[in-house]
Amino acid sequence: MRKGARDGSLKNFKKVLSKRGQNIKKVLSKRGQNIKKVLSKRGENVKKVLSKRGEPHIRAAKKEDFAALLNLEEICFKEETFNKKQLRYLLFKARSIVLVAALEGKLIGSIIILLRNHISNARIYSLNVHPSYRRAGVASLLMDTALKFLKENGFKNITLEAGIKNTAAQNLYRSKGFIVDKTLTNYYKNGGDAFHLVRKL
C-alpha cells in the first residue's frame, strides 16, 4: 500500500475510534445518570415506607436478636462477615455496646461499638443496614443514638474505619463530624485500603 493511501486509512481509522470513544462516553454518562436516578428514587420510596410505618426503634440488642443479627451480617457483607463465634463474642462477652434498629418487629440495622478498658475511647466496629432500607436515614439514626450515649457516659474520642472506595459511608461519617487522620493500607482481607477516622465527643 502506498504511503498516501496508508495515511488516509489511518486518519479514517482514528476518526472511527474517536467517534466510538465519544459514543461510549455518552452511554456511560447516561447510564451513570440513570443509576443515580434509580438510587435516588429507591431512597425516596424507602423514606415513604418508613414514614408510613413510623421511625425505626433503636434499642440495645438482646440474646433473642442473635439469629437476626447474624442474618443481617451475612446480607450486608460478603468478605468481611462475622461468623457465629465472632458475633457471639461481640454480643455477649466483649466490652461492647450493640444497638439495633427495629421496624415492626424486624431488625433492619445494627451498630457494634467496642469500648476501651480504662480509657475514654470507643471504636465503631460495625454498622449494618439492610439493603432494602438504605438511603433512608437508618444508619444516621443509629449513629446519632450511639454518639449521644457515648458522650453522656463520659467517652471523649471515637474512631472507625471506612473503605477508601466506600464514599457513601465516608459521607455519612463526615456529616457526623468525623475526620480522616490516616490511611490503613491492605486493611481488608481482599487487600483494600481504608481510612481511619476520628471524632471528639
Residues 6+ apart with CB under 8 A from 90: 82, 96, 98, 112, 114, 125, 126
**pTM (predicted TM-score):** 0.73
Per residue in 38-49, pLDDT tens? 445 554 554 554
* C-alpha radius of gyration, the chain, whole number: 23
- The domain segmentation of the chain, as residue ranges, is 1-54, 55-200
CATH assignment of 55-200? 3.40.630.30
Per residue in 122-145, pLDDT tens? 999 999 999 999 989 999 999 999
Average pLDDT over residues 136-165: 95
Name the residue with higher pLDDT: 175 or 105.
175
Average pLDDT over residues 74-86: 86
